[in-house]
């Protein structure tokens, strides 16, 4: 498994175990599952699939990266890309060993991205507490998943003392308003502004309490994974999140457009998809689609914990 990565928001990838279960539409085109099927053939994916611990030698790599980072006076970010850190089916003993390893590598920032933020508090506490060099993240591909995952993520950030909470809105499959998240009467409130942590009633009246806000937002379009063909993303959905982040002064990173891109962004041949609002995207392939949005590359990173001081 490669040590470095082409993922724009991380320096290295490393996973304590391999395997997961699909839990949301974002999982439909899972690249990790496709990687196992086509190249590595290591684990069977799915609800009855295994969770295979990686090798002893592989577990030594983060220790070497930590020494490297310390010697260079920088922070290296590590993303566990082949598992979900808070997977219900993963072995709690392995998670505890992993969290001990995270604590032993203070010059690394671990980007723990999950589709199960509701599990984070209980599982982190069972593993000895959340290490201080962890950034907690959740995948939110549409408003439904945002309403479900962001409140849980921010409560976990507050309860566990995480310095950074981030979202990966990739693949973005629908519009998201991060400033108006339905909480279903969470702490007596109906609406959460995820970017500021402010809680309010339906008509905007404040509730006298708040959560910590999000620190970093990542967006991206979908790519093909074997027989799963990428679903197009409306470029306006990217723009809306970009503008919400700018207004709240929250760092924003646009990872990729995916297989589809706005016809105003890239010219040439390719199938056209028209959204209900009249906007058109062209299927050009990931390379030609690139990662600019209205001609601009967005590479925002948060500063707490040295995340912005890595190898980028």
Which pLDDT score, from 0 to 100, does residue 205 have? 73
Cα–Cα dist 230/248, whole Å = 31
Residue 18 CA to its chain's centroid (Å): 17
Which pLDDT score, from 0 to 100, does residue 28 have? 87
Q: Indicate the average pLDDT of the chain.
A: 91
Which pLDDT score, from 0 to 100, does residue 310 have? 43
Yes or no: say if 7 and 81 are a contact pair by the CB < 8 Å rule: yes
Of the two residues 103 and 28, the one the predictor is more confident about is 103
What number is the average pLDDT over the span 122-130? 98
- Nearest CA to 299 out of 237, 262, 245 is that of 245
């308003």: which residue's tokens?
177
Which pLDDT score, from 0 to 100, does residue 295 have? 96
Of the two residues 193 and 30, the one the predictor is more confident about is 193
Give the burial class of 239: count Cβ atoms within 10 A of its Cβ; 0-12 exposed, 13-18 middle, 19 or more buried. middle
Token pair of 126, please? 């069972």
Which pLDDT score, from 0 to 100, does residue 6 have? 85
Phi/psi of residue 124, nearest 5 degrees:
-65, -45
Cα–Cα dist 78/58, whole Å = 14
Cα–Cα dist 44/49, whole Å = 5
Confidence class of residue 103 from pLDDT cuts 50, 70 and 90? very high
Residue 304 CA to its chain's centroid (Å): 17
For the chain, domains (ranges, CATH) are 12-303 (3.20.20)
> Mind listing the pLDDT tens digit for each residue in 170-191?
999 999 999 999 987 677 778 9
């Amino acid at each position: 498994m490669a040590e470095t990565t082409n993922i724009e928001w991380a320096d290295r990838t490393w996973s304590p175990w391999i395997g997961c279960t699909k839990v949301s539409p974002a999982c439909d085109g899972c690249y990790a599952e496709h990687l196992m099927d086509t190249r590595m053939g290591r684990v069977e994916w799915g609800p009855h699939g295994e969770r295979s611990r990686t090798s002893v030698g592989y577990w030594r790599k983060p220790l070497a990266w930590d020494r490297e980072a310390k010697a260079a006076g920088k922070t290296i970010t590590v993303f566990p890309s082949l598992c979900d850190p808070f997977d219900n089916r993963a072995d709690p003993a392995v998670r505890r060993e992993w969290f001990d390893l995270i604590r032993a590598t203070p010059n690394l920032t671990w980007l723990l991205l999950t589709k199960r933020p509701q599990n984070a508090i209980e599982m982190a506490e069972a593993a000895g507490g959340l290490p201080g060099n962890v950034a907690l993240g959740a995948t939110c591909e549409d408003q439904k998943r945002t309403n479900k995952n962001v409140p849980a993520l921010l409560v976990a950030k507050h309860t566990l003392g995480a310095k950074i909470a981030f979202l990966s809105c990739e693949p973005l499959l629908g519009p998201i308003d991060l400033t108006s998240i339905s909480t279903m009467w969470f702490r007596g409130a109906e609406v959460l502004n995820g970017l500021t942590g402010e809680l309010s009633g339906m008509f905007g009246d404040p509730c006298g309490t708040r959560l910590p806000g999000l620190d970093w937002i990542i967006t991206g379009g979908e790519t093909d994974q074997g027989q799963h063909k990428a679903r197009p993303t409306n470029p306006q959905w990217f723009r809306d999140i970009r503008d919400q982040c700018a207004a709240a002064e929250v760092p924003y990173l646009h990872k990729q457009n995916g297989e589809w891109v706005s016809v105003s962004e890239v010219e040439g041949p390719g199938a056209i998809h028209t959204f209900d609002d009249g906007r058109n995207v062209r299927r050009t392939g990931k390379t030609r689609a690139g990662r600019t949005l209205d001609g601009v590359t967005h590479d925002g990173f948060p500063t707490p914990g040295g995340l912005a001081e890595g190898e980028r």
